[in-house]
Structure 1
């Protein structure tokens, strides 16, 4: 009897993260489009909606990024939050602890996205490299 087995010469590597400047450019374009869409549908009546949407964007941008891209993602998202969601005239203003908390929340979201991706990649690499896990 012949048993067919796949030939694998090497284990697939963990995906390489996207370059940091590209992630920052994506954060700029994504934040701009997100704020524009939220403004067009009238969802910016509450700054909490804008903050949650930008946090979700920060998590998504953190998925393919390196950890060192997280502060840039948070700052770009905060600039759009502060300039167009909190103060609709496009003026930046620092409101002390409140803005610091928003910035920390955006940074946490970006780091969380990166952490989720790293854990998922590590688990996938472990399953690919562990002997005896192939099809029976």
Structure 2
């Protein structure tokens, strides 16, 4: 017997993604808080720690985001890293290979978070489908 279930009843194979502007607002505010916290605790002479923390933030924010939000999330985190986590604070600079490496790390973290979320949701949807196998026993026997 086939049971029809309306999509409005709450059954969804994959959760809805968070809107890109909300992810970017969270990246901007979150990166600012992370950098300010690290600057007050360890100072501005440890950009590796700030890069690690901002990469984690970028990956966490990307768990609920669309793929299109990843580059913007990485750039916003890089702006906070470059502008406030390395001396002189408040000045944006471009140091060639260093900044390209930072942008690559942040973008990889954002894309990695999005890919991880997609894989987890796809696996969960697959399990829901395969666990609901049809009953093969004939009725009335």
Smaller-chain TM-score bracket: 0.7 to 0.9
Residue 98 of structure 1: aligned partner: 98
The residue aligned with 2:5 is: 9
CA distance in 1: counterparts of 2:87 and 2:70, whole angstroms: 24
Q: TM-score, structure 1 length as denominator?
A: 0.86
Q: Which residue is 2:89 aligned to?
A: 89
Instruction: Map 1:55-74 onto structure 2 (within 5 A).
Output: 55-74=55-74
Please state how far the C-alpha of 1:46 moved relative to its aligned partner: 1.1
Report the count of equivalent residues: 127
Unaligned runs of 5+ in 1: 1-6
Segments of structure 2 that go 5 or more residues without pairing to the other structure are 135-141
Asked if the contact 1:66–1:114 (Cα under 8 Å) also holds between the matched residues in 2, the reply is yes
Alpha-carbon distance in 1 for matches of 2:54, 2:4: 42
Q: Give the CA RMSD over aligned residues.
A: 1.9
- The structure with the largest alpha-carbon Rg is 2
TM-score with structure 2 setting the length? 0.83
